[in-house]
Amino acid sequence: MYRPTLSIQSLPAWAHLNDVSFHNVKVINTKGKGYGVVSDEDLNLTNETNDASALIAVPHDLVLNAAAVEEYAKEDKGFRLLLDAIGHRSTRADVLLFLLVQMVLGSRPSHANVGLSNPWTEYLKFLPETVLVPTLWTEEERLLLRGTSLEAAVNAKISALDAEFDLVREKSSDIIAWNDMLWMEGVPVSFTDWIRLDALYRSRCLELPRSGESMVPCIDMINHAATPSAYYDENTKDEVVLLPRPGVGISKDDEITISYGDAKSAAEMLFSYGFIDPASSAESLVLPLNPFPDDPLAKAKLVAFGEAPKIHVARQGREEKEKEESGNSSTPNKKGPVGWTSPFAHLMCVNEEDGLEFRVLQQTDGARQLRVFWQEEDVTDRTGDFEALIRTHPLAAVLSLRVVTVVQGALQAQLERLASSTVPDAAAAAGDPAVQQRREDCVRTATVLREIETKILEDAIEGLEGEKNALLADKNVVAYLGLTEAAESGLAGDEASNEPDDFS
């Protein structure tokens, strides 16, 4: 839909009207990062920060979260109907609905017969038209993610957004005033509008110490840096304040930055914010894990496990590694090993002959319930704990070898997919310079992600090779494989008669 915009030069006027105070800082257009906040003068900072040193202060009533949406619904009966029909599922869902209404009000206020304007109606007009998060990449641009951990995640997110948008359309169409407002008047709201609102929310929401997950106008103009100069907090007046970090020097024209978190992986940063900062992203990735296609228990295992099966891969921190080795290594650039976890892989690799059993129990009310048994013990509530459960099995090492082989195979397949899909040349995008620039940004970011994930996968596979070799040397495994080999060579003897050579 058509979306009016406001120049960032008008932000001070909006801030003044809405009691947001800026002290010696201003919002400007930065190079390559959209808007950002810079210092207007050299700041003489002490090691103490308090309210007097706040660079930006935002009144509590501008903070947008589930509680604020609820307050808004008390004043606007029309919105109450909409919120009760669609909202109350999560903070995000309520805020997105509110933003949708504000976006529509902002684009055709004269026609509005429902919905009350609010400071956010105008503030939305300052926000960027697009965010480079992959849900807003074109289908062609998303091919750049082939083989990365984001390939499946972005497709799943787009499907989820599609289902969510259908629900919003269906429920709001039942309310005549909203049906007219959202879907009939002028250019109706589109799926792209919905994806854009989701992207704005994801890339701009903050975790406030008291108010929780919230959007805060103006504070959301601050960019990220690995070594930030500021942080946000809530003060005794319930304002959200931007404070300089103690001991950090800020000169005139310096950009003021905060940290968006250092525990997020490169994929998570790209997914949520549309950029990757290798200096502050965690070296980790998450991949989906599919059960064996020929496992007759696959469905029961999935139901009993209760969540989407995954493999988490993460480089262990240097300190962790040093602690583990209890040595005092002084090779600062040496990276720690890459470890993995996958609770489902352990469940996936055990079968009836190992002691796994599924039973369907009829309850007194007639309902049927799937129960999981391991070695005769009911472990229905511990399906995520099979790594520990198999440790006491006489063939524990054999079962572990299966798991390690499965995980290594999945990571190897991912690495091959990553290596086999090349990144097309950005110059291939012809025409409009803005489209060309955007394509270059997507190619650059996807290339960074691909390099980071390739290295993590290679190191994880190498680590798994070590684990596999250690397990192959285990005496129980040697004995088990010896028996299996003997059985198979007996079988091979029978099968040998089927070899084409024998017919010759």
Ligand X SMILES: C[S@@+](CC[C@H](N)C(=O)[O-])C[C@H]1O[C@@H](n2cnc3c(N)ncnc32)[C@H](O)[C@@H]1O
Q: Nearest approach, Cβ of 115 to ligand X (angstroms)? A: 24
Which residue, 83 or 225, is less far from ligand X as judged by CB?
225
Are 268 and 84 in contact, with CB atoms under 8 Å apart? no
441 binds ligand X (CB under 6 A): no
Give the three-state DSSP class for 82.
helix
Shortest-Cβ-distance residue relative to ligand X: 34
The least CB distance from residue 441 to ligand X, in Å, is 9
Beta carbons of 105 and 121 less than 8 angstroms apart: yes
Give the strand pairing for 240-244 and 56-58: antiparallel
273 touching ligand X, by CB under 6 A: yes
> Per rule CB under 6 A, is residue 220 in the interface with ligand X?
yes
Give me the sign of the Cα torsion angle 271, 273, 274, 278: negative
Place of tokens 């951990």: 149
Candidates 3, 14, 26, 35; binder of ligand X (CB under 6 A) is 35
Smallest separation, CB 408 to ligand X (Å) = 35
Query: Quick one: which segment of 34-42, 149-157, 167-175, 298-306 binds ligand X (CB under 6 A)?
Result: 34-42
Residue 57: count other Cβ atoms within 10 Å of its Cβ.
20
Determine if 34 is a binding residue for ligand X (CB under 6 A): yes
Of the candidate residues 20, 22, 36, 313, the single one contacting ligand X (CB under 6 A) = 36
Report strand pairing: 56-58 vs 35-39. unpaired
Q: Tokens 């120049």 sit at which residue?
A: 7
Question: What part of residues 115-154 is at the interface with ligand X (CB under 6 A)?
Answer: 128, 131-132
Smallest gap from Cβ 199 to ligand X, in A, equals 8
Four-residue CA torsion sign, 383, 386, 392, 395: positive
Q: Where are the alpha helices (DSSP H) in 126-224?
A: 139-142, 150-173, 176-178, 191-204
Please say which residue, 35 or 358, places its beta carbon nearer to ligand X.
Answer: 35
Q: Which stretch binds ligand X (CB under 6 A): 221-229, 415-423, 431-439, 464-472?
A: 221-229
Smallest gap, in angstroms, from Cβ of residue 256 to ligand X?
A: 11
Return the residue of 16, 23, 33, 417 that touches ligand X, per CB under 6 A: 33
Q: Are 254 and 39 in contact (CB under 8 A)?
A: yes
- Residue closer to ligand X (CB basis): 57 or 225: 225
Structure tokens given for 274: 């549309």
Encoding tokens for residue 322? Answer: 């040093």
- 221 or 348: CB nearest ligand X: 221
Q: In the complex with ligand X, which residue's Cβ is closer, 34 or 291?
A: 34
Asked if residue 221 binds ligand X (CB under 6 A), the reply is: yes
User: Least distance from C-beta 321 to ligand X, angstroms?
Assistant: 28
Classified as helix, coil or strand, 21 is strand
Contact flags string 39-78 toward ligand X, x per CB under 6 A? ----------------------------------------
Residue 368 to residue 286: CA distance in whole angstroms: 33
Considering the rule CB under 6 A, would residue 277 count as an interface residue with ligand X?
yes
- Judged by CB under 6 A, does residue 288 bind ligand X? no
The DSSP annotation for 199-260 comes to HHHHHH-EEETTTEEEB-TTGGGPEE-SS-SEEEEE-TTS-EEEEEPTT--B-TTPEEEE--
The residue range among 92-100, 136-144, 217-225, 338-346 that interacts with ligand X, by the rule CB under 6 A, is 217-225
Calculate ∠ Cα 229-233-238, nearest 5°.
Answer: 150
Give 334's contacts (C-beta < 8 A, 6+ positions apart): 318
CA distance 353 to 366: 30
Please tell me the distance from the alpha carbon of residue 372 to that of residue 382, in angstroms, as a whole number: 9
DSSP structure class, residue 179: I
Minimum distance between the CB of residue 275 and ligand X, rounded to whole angstroms? 4
Angstrom distance (rounded) from CA 79 to CA 115: 6
Under the criterion CB under 6 A, does residue 271 sit at the interface with ligand X? no
Residue 359 touching ligand X (CB under 6 A): no
Contact call for residues 99 and 82 (beta carbons, < 8 A)? no
Q: Bridge partners of 215?
A: 64
CB of 482 to ligand X, least distance (A): 57
Backbone φ and ψ for 409, nearest 5 degrees, come out as -60, -40
Is there binding between residue 193 and ligand X (CB under 6 A)? no
Q: Which of 120, 165, 275, 374 contacts ligand X by CB under 6 A?
A: 275
Which residue number, 200 or 457, has a Cβ lying nearer to ligand X? 200
Which helix (H) or strand (E) segment holds residue 338: the answer is strand 338-341
Residues 6+ positions from 98 with CB-CB distance below 8 Å = 64, 68, 69, 72, 79, 120
Q: Is 266 in the site for ligand X (CB under 6 A)?
A: no
Instruction: Please report whether residue 224 would count as binding ligand X according to CB under 6 A.
Output: yes
From 140-148, 171-179, 222-230, 343-351, give the range in contact with ligand X by CB under 6 A.
Answer: 222-230
Q: Identify which of residues 79 and 126 has a Cβ nearer to ligand X in the complex.
A: 126
Cβ nearer to ligand X, comparing 137 with 275:
275
Secondary structure (3-state) at 444: helix
Options 87-95, 114-122, 271-279, 457-465: segment touching ligand X (CB under 6 A): 271-279
Total of chain residues touching ligand X, rule CB under 6 A: 19
Kindly tell me which of 244 and 343 has the beta carbon lying closer to ligand X: 244
Distance between CA 432 and CA 344 in Å, rounded? 47
Would you state the structure tokens that stand for residue 492, as one six-digit string?
């091979």
Q: Residue from 172, 223, 400, 414 that binds ligand X (CB under 6 A)?
A: 223
Per CB under 6 A, residues contacting ligand X are 33-36, 128, 131-132, 203-204, 220-225, 273-275, 277
